[in-house]
A and B are shown apart, each in its own frame.
Chain A
Amino acid sequence: MYWDERHETIRPAELEALQLRRLRETIERIQNVPFYRDLLAREGVRPDDIRTLDDLHRLPFTRKQNLREGYPFGFFAVPRKEVVRIHTTSGTTGKPTVVGYTRGDLDRWADLIARAMTMIGLSADDVFQNSVNYGMFTGGLGFHYGAERIGMTTIPAGTGNTRRQIEMIEDFGVTALHCTPSYAMHLAEVAEEMGAGLESLTTGMFGAEPWSDATRRALQDRLGITAFDSYGLSELFGPGVAFECPEQNGLHIWHDSYIVEIIDPATGESCGPGERGELVVTPLIKEAMPLLRYRTGDITMLLEDDCPCGRTQRIARFSGRVDDMLIIRGINVFPSQIEHILMALPEVGDQFMVYVDRNEHHLDEMTIHVEVKRQYFSGELTDLARIQQKIVRALRDTLELRTAVQLVEPGSLPRFEGKARRVVDRRSTV
């Protein structure tokens, strides 16, 4: 099912022409933003100079820090009276970032979310519970208006009062749910405690934090749903940038609205299909706050093969943040990759720690501490050494990096309740 079949299945040649036209319009509009006017003048680029999509790559990146420096309205490309809504992103490091929307922006944003929902089979026949924060967080109102656009019966449940949320699912016959994957796990637990079967639920849409395939399986089993990954960020409207189709194998980017690049975050060089790097997005349909080559900080890769659903341009599910990336002897390593490798080994416990040092020859050394699960301890030193070698090999095969592995006693690694801090980089202190 398509909401906007023409744009969702657009042919490559037609797409390129559309993207180019919209990119030029964006560059035209962006002259109203002092930051970009100065930037384009400095680079000597005028709108007419953008003749092909490749010309975009001559422009510098925009970073979150740039947006912060424009606080509060420095990045608006339209007069304030044309801005009909403001959201902000959380200001965990410094001031929040302000994003603005014109009436047209809100209309296009709702359409993008309507596409995603229609893609996974939702329609006016569905009852939708939106269990995310309705405040400054874009996930609340973003999904709300998308759901109303396709005519779903929409329940603005917000967060909290989980028992009441479960009662509403049962009493209203809710079929589709949107929340964070961690809240969905909590919901499943509470529903099990309450003995609520949640029989009406068929579809879950989860986003705002990376989640693994193991979590997907758990959510699908426990809630009796099909679970889809949703991606977006406030600077690009919010949710609705990319979304999984029924194949559940990567997320489709709405490429008529967003030009995507994957770059090596350390060098800025572009990555080929299948190479993980940072997602960089140039939105093509934003009026109030256009951006050029915005560095999302999110790690993914382009998927090359065609999707049976008929839509094109997919990116892999997200595997972490650039901020977490380590550069070890010039090789980019993400803690999420290490976690993925370790969790695939049955002998290894759930916790791990990564230590990075610089040795006497000025070479980086990465040491990973893991616990061996009790049932895999035979009592023999040779078996332990074999497990250690197996872990070293698995890490080397994927990371292409020699890593030292230290087996530690069970229970000796730190357990984290909030955000885990599993990497200790000791290089700068030497």
Chain B
Amino acid sequence: MAANEFIIRQISVFSENRPGRLAAIAHALEEERVNIFAFSIAEASGFGVVRALVDQPDRAHARLTQDGFNVAFTDVIAVRMRDEPGGLYEVARLLGEAGINIEYSYAYSGPAGAVLILRVDRPEEAIAKIRGAGKELISSAAFT
């Protein structure tokens, strides 16, 4: 079983907490014709990290680095959830019972269903648990 197939590269961008920074990142991605599937902002005192799943991570990385941003790839996994009450609980309980810690998470819900993006402490084990429970993971092939 190739667990790596389900490990997705999230792009993480260091950003100061001041007006216009998200716009600068988003504009750069627009110019590169990079599409964002999902994103979130985590903030600490005075700074934050913009996290995004994009269709062309390498292109996004190169452009943002060229623009002077601190950019890194972070491994995450993406699980399809039932887009109805209890969908999130199902996945969260699965990981919780396996003793796998969720460091952070964000989600989106669209016409094709709901997706939960997870950063966990033991990704390979999480992948095995989720697949073992018959849940569907999004393959990294979707993000090239």
A residues near B, CB below 8 A? 372, 374, 377-382, 384-385, 388, 406-412
Residues of chain A lying within 8 A (CB to CB) of residue B23: none
With A377-B14, A381-B49, A384-B49 in contact, do A372 and B44 touch (Cβ < 8 Å)?
no
Q: Which residue of B lies closest to A378 (CB)?
A: B72
- The interface bits of chain B over 82-120 (1 if a CB of A lies within 8 angstroms of the residue's CB, else 0) are 000000000000000000000100000000000000000
B72 touches A406 (CB 8 A): no
Between A and B, 11 residue pairs with Cβ closer than 8 Å are A377-B70, A378-B74, A380-B49, A380-B74, A381-B43, A381-B44, A407-B14, A409-B14, A409-B16, A409-B70, A411-B68
B residues near A, CB below 8 A? 10, 12, 14-16, 21, 42-49, 65, 68-74, 103
B69 touches A407 (CB 8 A): no
Residues of chain A lying within 8 A (CB to CB) of residue B74: 378-380
Residues of chain B lying within 8 A (CB to CB) of residue A374: 65, 70
A372 to chain B, nearest CB (A): 6
- When chains A and B are docked, how far (Å) is the Cα of A111 from the Cα of B38? 76
- When chains A and B are docked, how far (Å) is the Cα of A181 from the Cα of B121? 51
Residues of chain A lying within 8 A (CB to CB) of residue B42: 381
With A379-B12, A379-B74 in contact, do A384 and B68 touch (Cβ < 8 Å)?
no
Partner of B70 from the list A372, A381, A382, A385 (CB cut-off 8 Å) is A372
Majority SS at the chain A contact face: mixed
- When chains A and B are docked, how far (Å) is the Cα of A60 from the Cα of B112? 83
A379 touches B73 (CB 8 A): yes
B47 touches A384 (CB 8 A): yes
Majority SS at the chain B contact face: strand
B68 touches A385 (CB 8 A): no
Q: Which residue of B lies closest to A376 (CB)?
A: B70
Partner of A412 from the list B10, B16, B73 (CB cut-off 8 Å) is B16
B44 touches A410 (CB 8 A): no
B47 touches A407 (CB 8 A): yes
B46 touches A406 (CB 8 A): yes
Residues of chain B lying within 8 A (CB to CB) of residue A378: 72, 74
- When chains A and B are docked, how far (Å) is the Cα of A105 from the Cα of B73? 68
B113 to chain A, nearest CB (A): 27
With A381-B44, A385-B44 in contact, do A410 and B49 touch (Cβ < 8 Å)?
no
A320 to chain B, nearest CB (A): 28
Residues of chain B lying within 8 A (CB to CB) of residue A372: 14, 70
Partner of B72 from the list A379, A407, A408, A409 (CB cut-off 8 Å) is A379
B44 touches A409 (CB 8 A): no
Partner of A388 from the list B16, B44, B49 (CB cut-off 8 Å) is B44
- When chains A and B are docked, how far (Å) is the Cα of A331 from the Cα of B17? 30
A410 touches B70 (CB 8 A): yes
B69 touches A409 (CB 8 A): yes
B50 to chain A, nearest CB (A): 10
A347 to chain B, nearest CB (A): 11
- When chains A and B are docked, how far (Å) is the Cα of A374 from the Cα of B69? 9
- When chains A and B are docked, how far (Å) is the Cα of A374 from the Cα of B65? 9
Residues of chain B lying within 8 A (CB to CB) of residue A380: 12, 49, 74
Residues of chain B lying within 8 A (CB to CB) of residue A384: 14, 44, 47, 49
Residues of chain A lying within 8 A (CB to CB) of residue B49: 379-381, 384
- When chains A and B are docked, how far (Å) is the Cα of A377 from the Cα of B73? 10
Known: A381-B44, A385-B44. 16 other contacts (CB 8 A): A374-B70, A377-B70, A377-B71, A378-B74, A379-B71, A379-B72, A384-B14, A384-B47, A406-B46, A406-B47, A407-B46, A407-B47, A408-B16, A409-B16, A409-B70, A411-B68
Residues of chain A lying within 8 A (CB to CB) of residue B103: 382
Residues of chain A lying within 8 A (CB to CB) of residue B21: 409
- When chains A and B are docked, how far (Å) is the Cα of A382 from the Cα of B65? 21
Q: Which residue of A lies closest to B47 (CB)?
A: A407
Residues of chain A lying within 8 A (CB to CB) of residue B44: 381, 384-385, 388
B30 to chain A, nearest CB (A): 20
Select the residue from B12, B14, B21, B72 with max chain A CB neighbours within 10 A: B14
Residues of chain A lying within 8 A (CB to CB) of residue B69: 409-410
User: What are the 4 tightest A-B residue pairs by CB atom distance, in nearest-first order?
Assistant: A379-B12, A379-B72, A379-B74, A377-B70
- When chains A and B are docked, how far (Å) is the Cα of A82 from the Cα of B69? 66
